[in-house]
Chain A
Amino acid sequence: MKLLQTFALTATVAAAAAFGASAPARAEGKTITLCWAAWDPANALVELSKDFTAKTGVNMKFEFVPWPNFADRMLNELNSKGKLCDLMIGDSQWIGGAAENGQYVKLNEFFDKEGIKISDFMPATVAGYAEWPKGSPNYWALPAMGDANGWTYRKDWFSRPEIREEFKKKFGRELEVPKTQEELKDIAEFFQKRVIDGKTVYGAAIFTERGSEGITMGVTNALYPFGFKYQNPKKPYDMQGFVNSDDAVKGLEFYKALYKCCTPPGYSNGYMQEGLDAFKSGQVALQMNWFAFFPGLYKDPNVGGDRIGFFVNPAQKEKGSQLGGQGISVVAYSPNRPEALAYIKWFASLDTQKKWWALGGYSCHKGVLNDPNFKNTAPFAADFLVAMDQVVDFWAEPSYAQLLLAMQKRVHDYVVADQGTAKGALDGLIVDWTKVFKEDGKL
């Protein structure tokens, strides 16, 4: 019996190996499932994937989960060795855990065999979405959806003469896109509780969500420009004087001040969707959100078109934007590995990447991004390039969830619940993170 099993297994492996890249031609009627979050780019991917089906005969099914439940649902799927997903567009922070636990297929050999050059993709996205360990040439995903935290503003309000005049009188400069974090706060304060067209409006919708990753993704957007660093560049996991540096303290205090002065009432648990709702309903002048939503916002009949403007997260002491985005991986438990790999091969091609960007997805391919005309393809395209050039990512360690939840708690306690000081919150964060790294044997 065991001999029979061994033979069957060997035959299957051999068949799969032989199947390889030519799989699609023989895969008529097969169906693979792609798992991702339920948001605008996912709809674009459904549209794009029709080409894959037309070309290969492999049908596509999609499992999209709303962002607040995405990590819970998908990490459960991976941890239980589920076969639901053949392809996973998972969060960038999952790469470490998924690689170490054998949940994603390592793609190096496949890339070599199929002539897919990882160097064709933007280095920041390769580092953020594909590599583990970071800085090593081990690839567990193909950069799929480039993303960073940016800002939208009400261009139509900014251009009103009476508002511009009042702003100039108050601040001694023109009301323009902010160049620094302090300028951003000035603008938010200026609009806070202002009556525009008979309606009271507010300054800014920023990330304050407690449950998943919201406030961390928002607060880091202020911390990086003020000088926060995760660790000593010369000594990994040495956080003292970096996480809680004087500049980092100023950054955290700034975010709290921005929350207190300039958000709509009751905005204590807002993330992507709440920000979109606040902006689309004309409640706020500024909105922090991911570039991924900008194509949809630009098309919005109420606030899009000429009424909306975009800008990169402003610098303060230095530049920095929180990295978002994801890579696409083949799930190790997938029974349809050849078809899933064929999808990766198809997705990596320049033609597909061009169409991906045209449909509203953010390609990470240099062939798309370095095109001289790229900046003119969308009103936010130029800002996207700038943002991707200054991105910083949260810890991508296998224990990222523990690290993330510790920061969620410390920061929310300080910013929203008014407990303790910024220095105390960051000192506490070092204690929490040190404990996690010790448990992991990193310290």
Chain B
Amino acid sequence: MTDQTGLSGLVDRAAMVTPPVVARRARGLSERAIAWLFITPTMLLLLAINIFPLIWTIRLSFTNYRANRPNATVLDVGLANYQSILTDPDVWAAMTVTARFVFWSILIQTVLGFTLAWLIDKKFRGHGLWTTLILLPMMLSPAVVGNFWTFLYQPQIGLFNYVISAATGAPASSFQMLAQVPLAPWAIVIVDTWMWTPYVMLICLAGLRSIPDYIYEAAEVDRASPWRQFWSITLPMALPFIMLAVLFRGIENFKMFDMVNLLTGGGPGSTTEVASITLKREAFEKWRTGYSSAFAIILFVTVFGLANIYVKALNRVKNR
């Protein structure tokens, strides 16, 4: 009986699905050898760039290693790094900032993204052009977006302030979006929403377009109102797609670094210091490699755990 588990099982299964004409012996190589030949480079690459760094990071997280002190003795410190991180108020502050940022940006992006998708799905005149225009921010690099919005937010010459000023009547320079503690987190949420709402919209649009027309036709026959159709057909059937968009954006926002770094660098004070900024400071500015490895593992486990719970909920919704 063929072993169906592990790497060997994978190779056997690959060999079984190989078409007979290719499976013949070539230059004296067996089917299994050919399968190994094709799979091995990928496996090695995967091990080198994914598995090995992960294992190495886990190993380092139990040490006091510092990458900037090659001559220092490396000691095993057990769970001390983990204990230190989980009792550090600065780390908890950064996690709180991250959680708030993830919550508000996802909430706003989901509502806006779904609304835009619902409007675009109506196929009004010029909807193709509008779709292209809405998608533009998503195509830009975060570095460009960060610098671009830094100028927009500039209190004296930034366009953003003039727009707000025109709408509210307040002086333009009174909105110091990146400099004031209450406004800075919202400044980042606004930019992230501007950039990534189109992405949510695309996924929601795919969901809306997947709903068969005959369901709406049946609802029309039953004289269901548009509101009733929305609540009973559109929203439930698009829900798995919306949840998928929330999952993708949630994972991305939890790891958010570039935009925050460019816009505020974590400031003013530590108001916008998300977990990834703290991690970067620990790893590449303070050079506390062991400590930051433990921090990275904690973040990884957090994202992985939350994503797993969420995927289970997603599957339940899909199977309803």
Instruction: Please report A residues at the B interface, Cβ cutoff 8 Å.
Output: 71-72, 75-76, 78-79, 81, 97, 100-102, 209-211, 264-269, 398, 401-402, 405, 409, 412-414, 416-419
**A101 interface neighbour in B71, B154, B271, Cβ under 8 Å:** B71
Query: Cβ of A417 and Cβ of B267 under 8 Å apart?
Result: yes
The residue of chain A having its C-beta at the shortest distance from the C-beta of B284 within the complex is A72
Closest 8 CB pairs of A and B: A417-B269, A268-B179, A211-B265, A266-B155, A210-B267, A413-B269, A265-B155, A266-B176
Query: Cβ of A401 and Cβ of B286 under 8 Å apart?
Result: yes
Interface residues of B in 214-231 (CB under 8 A from A): none
**A401 interface neighbour in B264, B268, B270, B285, Cβ under 8 Å:** B285
Beyond A71-B285, A409-B269, A417-B267, 5 extra complex contacts between A and B, CB < 8 Å: A79-B70, A211-B267, A264-B156, A412-B269, A413-B270
Residues of B within 8 A of A265 (CB): 155-156, 173, 176, 179
Residues of A within 8 A of B286 (CB): 401-402, 405
Q: In this complex, which of B69, B271, B285 has the most chain A Cβ atoms within 10 angstroms of its Cβ?
A: B285
Q: Is B24 in contact with chain A by the CB < 8 A criterion?
A: no
User: Could you show 16 A-B contacts with beta carbons less than 8 Å apart?
Assistant: A72-B284, A72-B285, A79-B68, A79-B70, A101-B69, A210-B264, A211-B265, A211-B267, A264-B156, A265-B156, A266-B153, A266-B179, A267-B179, A269-B179, A401-B287, A409-B90
Instruction: Give how many A-B residue pairs fall within 8 Å (CB-CB).
Output: 92
Query: Cβ of A79 and Cβ of B67 under 8 Å apart?
Result: yes
Provide the bound-state CA to CA distance between A413 and B268, in Å. Answer: 7
Query: Cβ of B270 and Cβ of A417 under 8 Å apart?
Result: yes
> Least Cβ distance of A198 to chain B in Å?
15
Q: Is B266 in contact with chain A by the CB < 8 A criterion?
A: yes
Q: Is B202 in contact with chain A by the CB < 8 A criterion?
A: no
Interface residues of B in 257-313 (CB under 8 A from A): 261, 264-271, 281, 284-288
Provide the bound-state CA to CA distance between A174 and B84, in Å. Answer: 56
**A417 interface neighbour in B155, B271, B281, Cβ under 8 Å:** B271
**B265 interface neighbour in A101, A210, A264, A401, Cβ under 8 Å:** A210
Residues of A within 8 A of B67 (CB): 79
Q: Are A79 and B264 CB-contacts (below 8 A) given A268-B179, A418-B181?
A: no
Provide the bound-state CA to CA distance between A405 and B280, in Å. Answer: 12
Provide the bound-state CA to CA distance between A266 and B155, in Å. Answer: 6
Q: Is B178 in contact with chain A by the CB < 8 A criterion?
A: yes
**A268 interface neighbour in B70, B176, B270, B288, Cβ under 8 Å:** B176
Provide the bound-state CA to CA distance between A419 and B269, in Å. Answer: 8
Residues of A within 8 A of B271 (CB): 417
Residues of A within 8 A of B181 (CB): 417-418
Residues of A within 8 A of B270 (CB): 409, 412-413, 417
Instruction: Please report B residues at the A interface, Cβ cutoff 8 Å.
Output: 67-71, 90, 153-156, 173, 176-179, 181, 261, 264-271, 281, 284-288
Residues of B within 8 A of A414 (CB): 269
Residues of A within 8 A of B179 (CB): 265-269, 416
The residue of chain A having its C-beta at the shortest distance from the C-beta of B171 within the complex is A265
The residue of chain A having its C-beta at the shortest distance from the C-beta of B174 within the complex is A265
Q: Are A266 and B69 CB-contacts (below 8 A) given A211-B265, A401-B286, A402-B286?
A: no
**A100 interface neighbour in B71, B265, B287, Cβ under 8 Å:** B71
Residues of B within 8 A of A101 (CB): 68-71
Query: Cβ of A97 and Cβ of B264 under 8 Å apart?
Result: no
Query: Cβ of B176 and Cβ of A417 under 8 Å apart?
Result: no
Query: Cβ of A210 and Cβ of B156 under 8 Å apart?
Result: no
Query: Cβ of B266 and Cβ of A210 under 8 Å apart?
Result: yes
Provide the bound-state CA to CA distance between A412 and B184, in Å. Answer: 14
The residue of chain A having its C-beta at the shortest distance from the C-beta of B286 within the complex is A402
Provide the bound-state CA to CA distance between A207 and B284, in Å. Answer: 23
Provide the bound-state CA to CA distance between A209 and B70, in Å. Answer: 31
Residues of A within 8 A of B70 (CB): 79, 81, 101-102
Provide the bound-state CA to CA distance between A308 and B50, in Å. Answer: 57
Provide the bound-state CA to CA distance between A206 and B180, in Å. Answer: 17
> Least Cβ distance of B190 to chain A in Å?
16
The residue of chain A having its C-beta at the shortest distance from the C-beta of B288 within the complex is A402
Provide the bound-state CA to CA distance between A101 and B70, in Å. Answer: 7
Residues of B within 8 A of A266 (CB): 153-156, 173, 176-179
The residue of chain A having its C-beta at the shortest distance from the C-beta of B71 within the complex is A101
Query: Cβ of A412 and Cβ of B268 under 8 Å apart?
Result: yes
**A398 interface neighbour in B69, B155, B178, B284, Cβ under 8 Å:** B69
**A405 interface neighbour in B68, B69, B267, B281, Cβ under 8 Å:** B281
> Least Cβ distance of B178 to chain A in Å?
7
Residues of B within 8 A of A409 (CB): 90, 269-270
> Least Cβ distance of B13 to chain A in Å?
41
Residues of B within 8 A of A412 (CB): 267-270
Provide the bound-state CA to CA distance between A120 and B212, in Å. Answer: 86
Query: Cβ of A268 and Cβ of B69 under 8 Å apart?
Result: no
Provide the bound-state CA to CA distance between A209 and B269, in Å. Answer: 10
Q: Are A416 and B178 CB-contacts (below 8 A) given A79-B68, A101-B69, A266-B154?
A: no
Provide the bound-state CA to CA distance between A175 and B69, in Å. Answer: 52
Q: Are A269 and B264 CB-contacts (below 8 A) given A75-B68, A79-B287, A264-B156?
A: yes
The residue of chain B having its C-beta at the shortest distance from the C-beta of A215 within the complex is B267
